[in-house]
Structure 1
Amino acid sequence: MNKNMKATILIMSLIISTLLFSTTSSAAKYKVTETDSLYKISTLFKISVSKLKAMNHLTSDEVYPGQTLTVSAKTYTVKAGDTLYKIAKRYGISVNTLRKANNIWNDNLVAGKKLILPGVKPQNTTQTTTKSKTTSTNTSIAKETSLSSNAVISYSKEELDLLARLITAEASGQPYQAMVGVGGVVVNRVQSKEWPSTIKGVINHVSGGYYQFSPVKNGYINHPATDIAIKAAKEALNGSDPSKGATFYFDDSSKNTWLWSKPIFARIGAMVFAK
């Protein structure tokens, strides 16, 4: 083999190695928030707790706010005209998980900003891509009760109607974002281990003899949902959360000192959102 041939092979090897490395590299930096735990972070990025600990050389399950962790996820550089919804839709993830991964709770994006795409990993080969598409299809079939591919939780037609009726009863006359926020609180409870795991279970939940939502007790939940409430319910189910992760809401005229003592995450119209 002549010298020119050897040099060519060496150069090609280096190029291939570089391409492989850039394709399979999926590390991103995530900053821990006050409500985080290793389990929540691993769930958000769809990796195991053990892998997350190994990636960051952690010897315990303890994390602290402000701590920077390496996570397995692709990053995306924001371009002019981008929105969280467009980016989330492009990569097949929910707006809510995109918000959580980047701690963004408004809709202001600056071109050039890098976003972490939770659960999105680079595709190495055609086979991997095909497998990913097959898995996605199987997941959609398994969640046949879900009415939207962008939904952050599975739900049925009856549960969509139930959520819209709750929003109608609780937030009619309030700003649209407050209505979405009410839906967001229900979604946040479904996603939390502290509450039932379905929309129906959360809305009809009775704890210690107390109804969690007064319209269930007084019967207002049985009134038909308005069109705008149905729209708000769908937006919340697709990941929009003006409540900023709240699990409680109440009217600002409430005299309940227990509710007022909770950390307030957002105030929209007369609605107060807390956790």
Structure 2
Amino acid sequence: MRFKKTGMSIAAAASVITIGAATVPNAFAATTNTVRVQSGDSLWKIAHAHHISVQSLEQANPSVSPNNLAIGTILRLPSLYTVQSGDTLWKISRQYGVTPTSLQAANKGINPVNLRIGKVLIIPSQHSSGTTTQSPLVSTTSQSSSSYSSTDLYWMTHLIHAEAGSQPMKAKIAVGDVIMNRVHSPNYPNSVKGVIFQVANGHYQFTPVLNGYIYSSPGSTDRQAALDVLKYHDNIVPSAFVFYTPSGTPAASWVRKQPYVAQYGQLVFAK
């Protein structure tokens, strides 16, 4: 029994909406286009005409000098996408064929673990991200939202296997999400291993740590689930800090009183 305190669609419709003589991006689709520089044009004028920021236009055309804009130059208008409920950085990047790293780099200041609904993201060009698709593991001495160590992957994989080894993939990912939700919360340790091995009020937070099952050998799907969480920030239960199996949890248990978030397989995730 687990008495621990743990914690997509993207429309493919028309890419623009016409209003009078102007076109503005549809909030439910990414848009991509080009424009040829005319006499008297400036980056500000072009950005204003297409309802985008000068910064995003510059980012989409890194080789163009904003102070020497040659007539006839073909500028790439940045693709834009408005974050919808259930979106994650990984899902959006996979939809548009770019890497999560390049998507995050093109949208500085966003929280990759918890995207804000309604936030307009710049979709980078595919060619600019192709060289980083197979990025290696990044070892780091401090926990951050964009890097993880081999130790993080090791313990995340083992806990996912121990808690959700026979469960569907979404349940595995959600278990990892609970770990990361705790890591990013000020109420818990700030590392993956610290969260997994935390002892609160004399009790281990995760049963497999107590009974030793965490040291059993994980499978390939357990590792993939851990990568989805650590590398691609796939958070399907962003507000969950606990999970439990209804069939093995007493009706009077405190964990059943926590606000419901979702259920995947035999695991219920709650706040």
Normalising TM by the smaller chain, what interval? Answer: 0.5 to 0.7
- 1:121 deviation in Å? 11
Secondary structure of 1:169 counterpart: helix
Whether the aligned pair in 1 keeps the contact of 2:81 and 2:120 (CA below 8 Å) is no
Give the number of the structure whose residues are more often helix, by fraction: 1
Secondary structure (helix, strand or coil) at the match of 1:100 reads: coil
Cα 1:75–1:156 change in 2 (3 A) is: same
CA distance in 1, matches of 2:93, 2:267: 25
Residue of structure 2 in register with 1:116 after alignment: 120
Distance 1:235 1:16 in 2: 38
Counterpart code for 1:101: L
Aligned counterpart for 2:170 among listed residues 156, 166, 177: 177
Equivalent in 247, 257, 263 of residue 261 of structure 1: 257
Q: 1:218 to 1:115 in 2, by over 3 A?
A: same
Query: Which of the numbers 72, 90, 93 marks the counterpart of 1:85?
Result: 93
Distance (whole Å) between structure 1 residues aligned to residue 44 and residue 103 of structure 2: 29
- Structure with greater contact order relative to length (CA < 8 Å, sep ≥ 6): 2
Change (3 A) 1:19 1:213: same
User: Is residue 184–residue 245 contact of structure 1 (8 Å, CA) maintained in 2?
Assistant: no
Please point out which of 14, 19, 26 is paired with 2:46: 19
1:75 Cα deviation (Å)?
A: 7.7
The answer on whether the counterparts of 1:75 and 1:116 sit within 8 Å (CA) in structure 2 is no
What is the CA distance between 1:97 and its match in structure 2? 4.5
State the one-letter code of the partner of 1:240: D
Residue 177 of structure 1 aligns with an amino acid whose one-letter code is K
Identify if the C-alpha distance between structure 1 residues 194 and 15 changes in structure 2 by more than 3 Å, giving closer, same or farther: same
TM-score, reference length from structure 1: 0.55
The residue number in structure 2 matching 1:6 is none
User: Which of the residues 101, 117, 120 maps onto 2:115?
Assistant: 101
2:227 to 231, 234, 251: 234
TM-superposed deviation, 1:245: 3.0
**3-state DSSP class of the match of 1:155?**
coil
1:213 and 2:209 equivalent? no
Which one of the candidate residues 225, 233, 249 is aligned to 2:218? 225
Distance 1:208 1:121, change over 3 A: same
Unaligned runs of 5+ in 2: 1-37, 57-77, 83-89
Q: Which residue of 2 aligns with 1:42?
A: none
Shift in Å, 1:247: 1.4
What is the CA distance between 1:85 and its match in structure 2? 3.2
Within 2, Cα distance between the matches of 1:153 and 1:77?
A: 21
Alignment pair present for 1:248 and 2:258: no
Aligned AA for 1:100? Answer: N
Task: Report SS of the residue matched to 1:192.
Answer: coil
Pairwise CA distance, 1:158: 2.4
What amino acid does structure 2 have at the position aligned with 1:18?
K
- Flag the 1:190–1:206 CA change in 2: closer, same or farther, 3 A: same
State the shift of 1:157 in Å. Answer: 1.5
1:200 aligns with 2:193: yes
